[in-house]
Amino acid sequence: MKGRLLSLDVLRGMTVAGMIIVNNAGGRLSYDSLRHSVWNGLTPCDLVFPFFLFIMGISTYIALRKWNFTPSAPLLRKVARRTVLILLIGWAIHWLECAWDGNWLPVDDLRLTGVLTRIALCYGMASLLALYVSHRHLPVIAAGLLVGYALMLWWGNGYQADETNLLGQIDRMLLGAGHLYRKSSIDPEGLVGTLPALAHTLIGVGCGHILLRKEETLERRTIRLFVTGFLLLAGGYLLIEAMPLNKRIWSPTFTLATCGAAALLLATLTYYVDLLGRRDWCRCFEVFGVNPLFLYVLSEVGAIVVGKTGIKEAVYTQLAALISNPYLASTIYSLLFTAVMAAAGYVLYRKKIYIKI
């Protein structure tokens, strides 16, 4: 791990651990901070996925810099292979859930969208743009995507959570309702919403450039990242009267605010962890951070297994019998499930096994 910025692994680990916690509540009741906003608004839970895309943008910059951002057949095959692999894993998880219920060939109702689908698409497109487009133009592309998306939301009833929303209409036309998220009329990881998520990832690529500039000291780079984060966060909140913060449609202000928050937190971690060397406290997050996608996928598969076999219900029933507060009991279950994932990650960490997906 020599030469790595540990703060990147720590923030990545915080994010993955947060994703697992919020996705695995024990009961139907959860604290508001562990639930996504119903529509407009921002909760701590809403930060985890955008933080992951932001860090993925930085990681993409680091990975492609080793190739001097020069396209080549081996590099393009690597990018394509990883993109397709993440897509297939995401669809396989959805298939497993259907197959467990007896639907072995869910041709008409296999969900094609989802967290891993969005990660794959953003990774693939951001990698190609970083390879084929001058990096001076990437901020312009990100800004263009956000402005164009803002106009689409404005003209297309984008801030309404109903069937009139243009985003949902386009997703249903392209994929069909059976292949989308079914709990609302708007798929939170729909195809159209991937456009601002791509801008989000490109902002991460740009912050990777700021953080890894060789001609400046790490202290100077950290200050630049902090200022960038502040400006992004301020810009996002200054525009919320016209464009509310909304994770489900990944509104432009949501992109700016969450990228800004992620940059501020990363700059803070870089200062304390990499500059001051205060590292003892963050080992648990490093465990998640060095095998992020593997542990996330393991948690998704594990959640299906414990849910379908009745293990989850049995464990939560025991917790609810001991803890009268259902919100607390649900949270304790989430933490226990995450601890099991941490134990699996710790074994890999100790053996220095890093599974790249």
* 190, 44 Cβ separation under 8 angstroms: no
Per-residue model confidence as pLDDT tens digits over 284-340? 999 999 999 999 999 999 999 999 999 999 999 999 999 999 999 999 999 999 999
Confidence of residue 342 (pLDDT cuts 50, 70, 90): very high
Two structure tokens written together for 212:
């890894």
CB-count burial class (<10 Å; 0-12, 13-18, 19+) for 136: exposed
* 349, 291 Cβ separation under 8 angstroms: yes
3-state secondary structure 8-44: HHHHHHHHHHHHHHHHCCCCCCCCHHHCCCCCCCCCH
What phi and psi, each to the nearest 5 degrees, are found at residue 195?
-60, -55
Residues contacting 297, CB < 8 A, separation 6+: 89, 93, 116, 357
* 289, 11 Cβ separation under 8 angstroms: yes
What phi and psi, each to the nearest 5 degrees, are found at residue 261?
-65, -40
Confidence of residue 1 (pLDDT cuts 50, 70, 90): very low
Two structure tokens written together for 315:
């464990």
Mean pLDDT of 268-273: 96
Q: What percent of the chain has a predicted confidence (pLDDT) above 90?
A: 92
Q: Where are the domains of the chain?
A: 36-278
Give pTM, 2 decimals: 0.95
Confidence of residue 111 (pLDDT cuts 50, 70, 90): very high
Confidence of residue 3 (pLDDT cuts 50, 70, 90): low
